[in-house]
Amino acid sequence: MNIDKKNVLLASTVIAGMAFAAPAYAQDQGEETGPVEQQNTDVNAEGAPIAEAQDIVITGTRIARPNVDSASPVTVVGEEVIAQTGTTRVEDLLNSLPQVTPGQTAFVSNGATGTATVNLRGLGSNRTLVLINGRRLQPGDPRQPVADINQIPAALVERIDVLTGGASSTYGADAVAGVVNFVMNTDFEGVQLDASFGVYQHNNRGERAFGDRLITDAQDARGFTYPTGSVWDGETLDVQLTMGAGFDDGRGHAVLYAGYREIEPILQGDRDYSSCAINTAGNCGGSFNSPNATIVDPTFGGFFFGVADGSDDFSGFGTPGAPPYNYAPVNFFQRPDTRWTAGGFANYEISDQVEAYAEFMFMDDRSDAQIAESGTFFAEQYDLACDSPLLTAAQGATLCAAIDGEADAGDPVADGVVPIFIGKRNVEGGGRNDALRHTGYRVVAGLRGDINERISYDVSAQHGITDYSTFYSNDFSLSRLRQALQATTDANGNVVCADPTAVAAGCVPYNPFQGQGLVSDPRNGVTQAALDYVLVPGQVTGDVKQSIFQAYATAELFNIDPMAAVTVLGGVEYRQESLAIRPDITFQTGDLAGQGGDNPPVNGDLGVTDLFAEMLVPVLSDMPGIDSLTFELGYRNSDYSTGANTDTYKVLAEYSPISEIKFRGGYNRAVRAPNILELFSPQSRGLWSGVDPCSGATPEFTAAQCANTGVSGAQYGTIAPSPADQYNAIFGGNPSVDPEVADTWTAGAVFQGGDMLPGFVATVDYYQIDVEGAISTVGAETILRQCALTGDSDFCSLVVRDPISGSLWAGQNGFVINTLQNIGGFSTEGVDVGLSYGRDIGPGRVNLDLLGTYLLEYAADAGIPVEGGDAVVDCAGYAGSFCGFPQPEWRHTFRTAYNMDNGFGVAVRWRHIGAVELDQFIDDPDRAFSGTPDERGNLASKDYFDLTLTYDVNDDIGLMLGVTNIFDTSPPLVPAAYGTDNANTWAGTYPPVGRYLFASTSLKF
């Protein structure tokens, strides 16, 4: 059907989109140093003495420490790496890290929120906390209340800290999978202009859909058109001006910035591998909502017939007839986007004990999500008169005779009216467009300082708000279609709407039965006046707000280790969050045909008061066999206005027998309370992507199994599958859900080269995260299959089939109820590996950096009985409609750079994504996946290479040229029914549209 999934809580998977972490590792620090967090207190990564150690705050704790050591694995991405990857969208850089699974990206159109989100370990964006300088970034969209990293000005980012694993005791709820902390360059001096331009290039060459079959062969078989040869598109322009200076004899400092970014669109029709939708057979699918009306009787199994250019074409379902409509080309592959950003950071020393600081950030982002034309989508039954002036005499007679011959249809000809469902694509009106706009403001103000040499404090308040609006155009009004399809002839021989009240309200007859294209007479087809009447816009506005007051003090108490004091931190935080979603009447009533159902308004707020404490306990140092031994403890109590009360805590330890070796590990208890949408979102109709195993002429399940789901004996083998693999469901919140709890274990080691191999660092870290009572949905297809397999009333009561057709997609009477609840949970474990080496060679310096993750387990326990016993499914090495985004067992990023003393530099990055199998074969005991695509559509491993050339003309002028995905490697192709996020692939995981060439310059004045 290709109905818009924008407002659908797509929960057809229990663990959709979970992925895994890389080691505690820094890719870059200043002059290409090794991992930041592994540096020793006395020397840097190159083994050189540190002139003066100053206490700093690292991600994962609020206690300032004399070095950048960390007991938790933290990946640090420095500003040079950010620049050399041509980053204008921060999410593209984060998604290339092995511990990140994509969230919302620029390559999502159908179902887009217009935001960019980050998803650590694949546990969900709502379980990943995003910080700016250690403080929360407010939610970016009321429909998905998680941070929108579009608000981050990439050119001002000094580094990105990625802490994977629970951090709720330090930062509060949402930090279940970990934290992404954007550390901004608040000490910038001077005036700097950064500008970059990039463009995508791809050679259309006929990619392989499944096995040896070419996508172009599948398109030729359907008669679909597709592009050939080289294409250049998707241009990106990004400009930022930054100014910074001290004032009042150095007591104060301020940094201001302003930026502009423009991204041009790419259509799915611009790539041969995305210009048709692949179905589960590996062929080009499509929609029976065709340019020429497709008519079906109420049983949705008796017959289809397409009306083409006035001729009647009857055919049984699945046999030759009017070909399915190719809805893919009109969809945006990359959304166009325009973003303005501005802001500033300032601090001022009022006295020796008091420093004031402030932050302000503004963003206005506009993006268009265009998808295929709207349609009638077989959404409602229309009772059409056989002598309607919209039909030719032959059509009316043939239609009535055909319906009259259907046993299940009765004898509708007695009154000259036949019940029909219509599938007609609005090719005359063009694609549906969702104009998305987000305007965000974030203000922070605070005071900090030292009361004395042992006690310091920090008191701050912050407020963030994001205003949201969407204007949806070119969609059918179902209520107006009802009126416009009922036509008669007036006294003057004109074709008019049959209802005089509708005529008075401007009704114009809409005729889908006479072929495609605009005409002047409604007898001959669709007129412009008819489009003007049946196409209505819809608008939704809303906002999400976050206010935080926080105060804490740090004190050095006493010494166990003579070299360092025990430090404690205690504080209080109050956080208030609210959101509002205000749909207009067309959205509220579900009047838009392409929206999948009604969208009720939402209003709500919640507050939480936190008491928290941390303790850093240096125990021993500089002893035989003990270079250092330190414990890190934390506790937080959270009291929610909803009545929930939670406790989180951490126990971490670091032990170094010698300065070159450190062992680290610990335990974190994390908790996430339900957000406002999860609690109070009204239940409404939406769509899920997948397969009805009881549809088709030869269903996957037996008649007895399908009977459990409500399929009658007469319906079995006659239920039409959805051509677009989209089915109806009821989604919504649940005020009874409880907070979810996560246990995170980490254990690892850090090895430094020391005097023998300066500049070398290696890390190995094991992680395990168990989430219990996860707030999620069981998944519509899981409910459907478990009902069929077990007959359990807990599942079968959630499956409602259309009483006439048995369909779950045609009309509004068939659906699966899939509301939120506390399901069994998620579990993931793996090993992160990091290697870094840097040394001077010849006239420059070489740096080698590797980040890799080996995935041991990626499992979900839906808390449901599964036939055969085990309810836990391990998705490591799989992808699909249940497992979600690809979860390869091995994934890495390797980067090598050589920077010469004369200003020239070169960097090469290798991104490897391991092979995965489709999860429909997860229980296949005979599977033997060789690592190459086979007839079942499994995904081979993919390797992508990037190259960057730099030249520093002088201290004030820098130039850069680069290309990502040098070899124009195309993404693997998979049917949408298996859970892909866009255009026959997982566009956020794999570079989807070809090589990207960019040039940038940095001018400092």
The CATH number of whichever domain residue 239 belongs to comes to: 2.40.170.20
The CA distance from 328 to 349, in Å, is: 59
- Is residue 817 within 8 Å of residue 798, measured between CB atoms? yes
The residue to which tokens 């423009």 are assigned: 262
User: What is the structure's pLDDT at 218?
Assistant: 87
Q: Tokens standing for 947?
A: 């190259």
Quick one: which of 384, 394, 423, 146 has its CA closest to 305? 423
Alpha-carbon distances, residue 175 vs 154, 233, 436, 575 (angstroms): 23, 38, 28, 15
Residue 795 lies in a domain: no
Longest dimension (CA), the chain: 107
Quick one: which of 334, 336, 332 has its CA closest to 372? 332
User: What is the per-residue DSSP string for 417-478?
Assistant: EEEEEEEBB-TTT-EEEEEEEEEEEEEEEEEEEESSSSEEEEEEEEEEEEEEEEEEEEEEBH
- Dihedral pair phi/psi, residue 368, rounded to 5°: -110, 130
Rounded to the nearest angstrom, the gap between the alpha carbon of residue 66 and the centroid of all alpha carbons in its chain is: 38
- The more confident residue out of 343 and 1 is 343
Structural domains of the chain, count: 1
Quick one: which of 483, 471, 500, 428 has its CA closest to 586? 471
pLDDT confidence tier of residue 409, bands split at 50, 70 and 90 = very low
Alpha-carbon distances, residue 564 vs 164, 558, 622 (angstroms): 28, 9, 11
CA atoms 164, 170, 171, 173: torsion sign: positive
What is the rounded (10 degree) CA torsion for 4, 6, 9, 10?
A: 60
Q: Tokens standing for 889?
A: 């067992």
* Buried/exposed 587-604: b ≥16 CB within 10 Å, e otherwise: bbebbbbbbbbbbeebeb
Residue 691 lies in a domain: no
The CA distance from 887 to 98, in Å, is: 10
pLDDT tops 60 at residue 48: no
The CA distance from 417 to 44, in Å, is: 85
pLDDT tops 50 at residue 23: no
> Average of pLDDT values for 692-701?
92
Q: For residue range 885-938, what is the model confidence (pLDDT) as tens digits?
A: 899 999 999 999 999 999 999 999 999 999 998 887 776 655 444 444 445 557
The CA distance from 75 to 851, in Å, is: 9
- The more confident residue out of 760 and 46 is 760
Residue 942 lies in a domain: yes
Residue 254 lies in a domain: yes
The 8-class DSSP code of residue 709 comes to: T
The residue to which tokens 């008075």 are assigned: 504
> Average of pLDDT values for 965-977?
90
Q: Under the phi-then-psi rule, with left for phi > 0, alpha for psi from -120 to 50, and beta for the rest, what region is 318?
A: left
703: three-class secondary structure by DSSP: helix
User: What is the structure's pLDDT at 289?
Assistant: 83
The CA distance from 603 to 141, in Å, is: 13
Domain range spanning residue 458? 36-174+188-269+334-370+435-472+540-678+737-781+819-1004
- Paired strand residues for 471: 435, 539
Residue 616 lies in a domain: yes
Q: For residue range 785-829, what is the model confidence (pLDDT) as tens digits?
A: 989 999 989 899 999 999 988 999 888 889 999 988 888 888 999
- Paired strand residues for 311: 308
Quick one: which of 850, 869, 881 has its CA closest to 979? 881
- Is residue 482 within 8 Å of residue 440, measured between CB atoms? no
User: What is the structure's pLDDT at 371?
Assistant: 95
The CA distance from 776 to 862, in Å, is: 9
Q: For residue range 292-304, what is the model confidence (pLDDT) as tens digits?
A: 888 877 765 544 4
The 8-class DSSP code of residue 622 comes to: E
pLDDT tops 90 at residue 763: yes
Q: What angle do CA 629, 632, 634 make, to 5 degrees?
A: 165
- Is residue 671 within 8 Å of residue 646, measured between CB atoms? yes
User: What is the structure's pLDDT at 919?
Assistant: 82
893: three-class secondary structure by DSSP: strand
Q: What angle do CA 746, 747, 748 make, to 5 degrees?
A: 125
- Dihedral pair phi/psi, residue 784, rounded to 5°: -60, -45
pLDDT confidence tier of residue 863, bands split at 50, 70 and 90 = low
User: What is the structure's pLDDT at 791?
Assistant: 93
Q: For residue range 600-623, what is the model confidence (pLDDT) as tens digits?
A: 899 999 999 999 999 999 999 999
Mean pLDDT in the chain? 85
Quick one: which of 541, 552, 472, 477 has its CA closest to 508? 477
CB neighbourhood size of 803 (10 A): 12
- Is residue 411 within 8 Å of residue 459, measured between CB atoms? no
Q: For residue range 506-535, what is the model confidence (pLDDT) as tens digits?
A: 999 999 988 889 999 999 999 999 999 999
Residue 791 lies in a domain: no
The CA distance from 594 to 5, in Å, is: 9
> Average of pLDDT values for 376-385?
88
> Average of pLDDT values for 674-682?
86
pLDDT confidence tier of residue 210, bands split at 50, 70 and 90 = low
> Average of pLDDT values for 267-283?
89
The residue to which tokens 């009333």 are assigned: 793
Rounded to the nearest angstrom, the gap between the alpha carbon of residue 744 and the centroid of all alpha carbons in its chain is: 23
pLDDT confidence tier of residue 212, bands split at 50, 70 and 90 = low
The CA distance from 776 to 146, in Å, is: 16
Q: For residue range 341-361, what is the model confidence (pLDDT) as tens digits?
A: 999 999 999 999 999 999 999
Pick from 33-47, 355-369, 468-482, 882-896: least confident: 33-47
The residue to which tokens 């001290």 are assigned: 246
The CA distance from 161 to 154, in Å, is: 14
* Strands (E) located in 862-922: 872-874, 878-879, 890-900, 904-913, 917-918
Residue 408 lies in a domain: no
Kind of pairing between the strands at 266-267 and 294-296: unpaired
pLDDT tops 70 at residue 483: yes
- Is residue 602 within 8 Å of residue 677, measured between CB atoms? yes
pLDDT confidence tier of residue 322, bands split at 50, 70 and 90 = low
User: What is the structure's pLDDT at 22?
Assistant: 24
The CA distance from 203 to 352, in Å, is: 63
The 8-class DSSP code of residue 937 comes to: -
Residue 745 lies in a domain: yes
Quick one: which of 96, 97, 130 has its CA closest to 115? 130
pLDDT confidence tier of residue 50, bands split at 50, 70 and 90 = very low
- Is residue 937 within 8 Å of residue 212, measured between CB atoms? no
- Is residue 669 within 8 Å of residue 169, measured between CB atoms? yes
